[in-house]
């Protein structure tokens, strides 16, 4: 029998790429989204597949979720979130509602329907401005620097507690920023849109020296499926997902402007961070997942180029 899985945030950037892959692997997929940031068009191919069933619902509606989850589902892939880090300090209730309350609702609906596996998208932002670089999963991270990171850490705590109390196996993935087809938010689309409006000048948030690691969405989805298909006796399983490379914002800009054949004048807003919560150096230690036989197939440069190809063709 085909495994039945449910993907929250199925119309989002990463969620829709995951749905494509799950359908390819012959899972039966229920997808939930309310198109808050996701796009119907990302599901165009999935709508044609008889193994996909879409449910338009707001995950804040707990009673509806409890009914929807009553379908003998094997795994919940909880990808819905407020994935926007930058504006968290302007709209802090978004992180509370769309990350913490929504995750609590998902866990309650799982408990009531006796669903025993959850995959959760966390973030490298939970490490804040750690001094331990590359940062391993067991690094200490005493200070949170973004509402987003703080809310994801709260979600991780809730998931761990539900896992222990109700024997729910959980897989928590802390990602670096993800790139590739259907990319909708982050520095590349930001620079791309600014350069479309003005080819001669480019405003850069911060001093351009921030160092970041990125992962291609195909590698991200691949890593998740690799981990959940490995036998583990642990109830809570936490993995970093990233590459072993990093790149400065200035180097990213060089790749983007060369691709677009532009030479804009760069104007820096200054400071080591571009905005509140922008981590100046993020590089995750990925030894733990590499031991399972996974490694990224895209370099950061190739991930940036793949994103630019998508943005120019869409
Ligand atoms: N993109 C990245 O670089 C990145 C990095 C680290 C972690 N993550 C995490 O990965 C997951 C997916 O991120 P993404 O980049 O695809 O974001 P996204 O915004 O493209 O996708 C999120 C999806 O969730 C849906 N959604 C949000 N609130 C909802 C609600 N209340 N009810 C129903 N649907 C709702 C949105 O409509 C959207 O389709 C998120 O949990 C995000 O925090 C993303």
CATH of the domain at 283: 3.90.25.10
Q: Is the pLDDT of residue 88 over 90?
A: no
On whether both 133 and 268 belong to a single domain, the answer is no
Closest atom of ligand 1 relative to the 102 alpha carbon? 31
Strand partners, 117: 169
* Domain span including residue 142: 4-178+215-241
pTM for the whole thing? 0.98
On whether both 189 and 106 belong to a single domain, the answer is no
Q: Whose CA is nearest to atom 21 of ligand 1?
A: 12
Q: Is the pLDDT of residue 1 over 70?
A: no
- Residue range 42-53: average pLDDT? 98
Average pLDDT, the chain: 96
Tens digits of per-residue pLDDT, 123-140? 999 999 999 999 999 999
Ligand 1 centre from 118 Cα, in Å?
Answer: 16
On whether both 91 and 157 belong to a single domain, the answer is yes
On whether both 155 and 169 belong to a single domain, the answer is yes
Instruction: For the chain, report the end-to-end CA distance as a whole number of angstroms.
Output: 37
On whether both 124 and 261 belong to a single domain, the answer is no
For residues 271 and 239, give the distance between their C-alpha atoms in angstroms, rounded to a whole number: 31
Give the residue numbers annotated as catalytic, written as ranges.
Answer: 148
Question: SS3 for 90-116, per residue?
Answer: CCHHHHHHHHHHHHHHHHHHHHHCCCC
Strands 247-248 and 211-212: antiparallel
CATH of residue 12:
3.40.50.720
On whether both 143 and 290 belong to a single domain, the answer is no
On whether both 34 and 149 belong to a single domain, the answer is yes
For residues 272 and 247, give the distance between their C-alpha atoms in angstroms, rounded to a whole number: 15
Max distance between CA atoms of the chain, in angstroms, equals 59
Tens digits of per-residue pLDDT, 187-215? 999 999 999 999 999 999 999 999 999 99
Q: Which residues line ligand 1 (CB under 6 A)?
A: 9, 11-15, 32-38, 58-60, 79-81, 83, 98, 102, 121, 123, 175, 177-178, 184
Ligand 1 centre from 262 Cα, in Å?
Answer: 32
On whether both 204 and 123 belong to a single domain, the answer is no
Query: Which of 31, 43, 80, 96 for a ligand 1 pocket mutation test, highest count of atoms within 8 Å of Cβ?
Result: 80
H/E stretch holding 154 reads helix 147-166
Q: Could you say which of 190, 223, 241 is where a domain stops?
A: 241
pLDDT over 90 percentage in the chain: 92
Tens digits of per-residue pLDDT, 296-313? 999 999 999 999 999 999
Ligand 1 centre from 245 Cα, in Å?
Answer: 24
- Number of Cβ within 10 Å of residue 164's Cβ equals 12
Contact 244, 41 (CB under 8 A): no
On whether both 96 and 194 belong to a single domain, the answer is no
What band does 90 get if pLDDT is binned at 50, 70 and 90? confident
What band does 2 get if pLDDT is binned at 50, 70 and 90? confident
Domain count, the chain: 2
- For residue 235, give every residue at least 6 positions away whose Cβ sits within 8 Å of its Cβ, in sequence order, or none: 163, 164, 167, 168, 169, 170
Tens digits of per-residue pLDDT, 237-291? 999 999 999 999 999 999 999 999 999 999 999 999 888 888 899 999 999 999 9
- Residue 134, preceding bond cis, omega within 30 degrees? yes
On whether both 19 and 168 belong to a single domain, the answer is yes
On whether both 81 and 121 belong to a single domain, the answer is yes
Instruction: Give pLDDT, residue 85.
Output: 85
């Amino acid at each position: 029998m085909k495994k039945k899985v449910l993907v929250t945030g199925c119309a989002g950037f990463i969620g829709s790429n995951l749905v494509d892959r799950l359908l390819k692997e012959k899972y039966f997929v229920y997808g939930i989204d309310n198109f808050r940031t996701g796009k119907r068009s990302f599901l165009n191919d999935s709508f044609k597949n008889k193994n996909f069933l879409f449910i338009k619902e707001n995950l804040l509606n707990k009673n509806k979720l409890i009914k929807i989850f009553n379908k003998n589902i094997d795994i919940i892939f909880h990808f819905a979130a407020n994935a926007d880090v930058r504006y968290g300090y302007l709209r802090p209730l978004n992180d509370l509602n769309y990350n913490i309350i929504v995750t609590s609702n998902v866990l309650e609906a799982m408990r009531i329907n006796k669903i025993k596996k959850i995959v959760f998208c966390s973030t490298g932002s939970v490490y804040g401005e750690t001094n331990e670089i590359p940062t391993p999963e067991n690094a200490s991270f005493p200070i949170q620097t973004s509402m987003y990171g703080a809310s994801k850490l709260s979600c991780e705590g809730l998931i761990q507690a539900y896992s222990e109390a109700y024997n729910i196996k959980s897989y928590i993935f802390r990602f670096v920023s993800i790139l590739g087809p259907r990319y909708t938010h982050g520095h590349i689309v930001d620079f791309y849109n600014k350069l479309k409006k003005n080819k001669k000048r480019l405003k850069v948030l911060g001093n351009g020296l921030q160092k970041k690691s990125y992962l291609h969405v195909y590698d991200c989805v691949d890593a998740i499926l690799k981990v959940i298909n490995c036998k583990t006796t642990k109830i809570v399983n936490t993995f970093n997902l990233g590459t072993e490379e990093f790149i400065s914002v200035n180097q990213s800009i060089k790749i983007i402007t060369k691709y677009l054949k532009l030479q804009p004048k760069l104007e820096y807003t200054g400071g080591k961070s571009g905005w509140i919560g922008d981590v100046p150096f993020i590089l995750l230690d990925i030894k733990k997942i590499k031991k399972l036989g996974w490694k990224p197939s895209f370099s950061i440069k190739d991930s940036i180029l793949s994103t630019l190809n998508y943005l120019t063709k869409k």
